[in-house]
């Protein structure tokens, strides 16, 4: 009987347990495919901040171009 339980344990560990773990994580992955509402809000805020920073950079470049036209050559 001991040999039979060993075979069952070995079969479980080599076939059933890996499949069980794989399907468990596939199910978890499918459940979290999309962004949550909080993630979408954060992404929108970051997008807005990046657009404002880009506008500031362009404004600074226009000021520098007007005051010192060769400032890009000095970099």
Q: What are the mean pLDDT values of the chain's consecutive 10-residue runs (75 residues total)? A: 83 91 91 84 96 97 92 81
**pLDDT score for 1:** 61
Closest CA to 44 of 2, 5, 3, 36: 36
Instruction: Read off the pTM.
Output: 0.53
Instruction: Find out whether 65 and 71 touch, Cβ atoms under 8 Å.
Output: yes
């Amino acid at each position: 009987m001991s040999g039979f339980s060993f075979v069952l344990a070995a079969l479980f560990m080599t076939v059933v347990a890996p499949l069980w773990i794989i399907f468990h994580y596939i199910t978890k992955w499918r459940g979290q495919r999309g962004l949550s509402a909080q993630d979408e809000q954060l992404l929108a805020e970051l997008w807005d901040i990046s657009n404002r920073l880009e506008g500031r950079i362009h404004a600074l470049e226009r000021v520098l171009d007007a005051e010192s036209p060769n400032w890009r050559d000095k970099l």
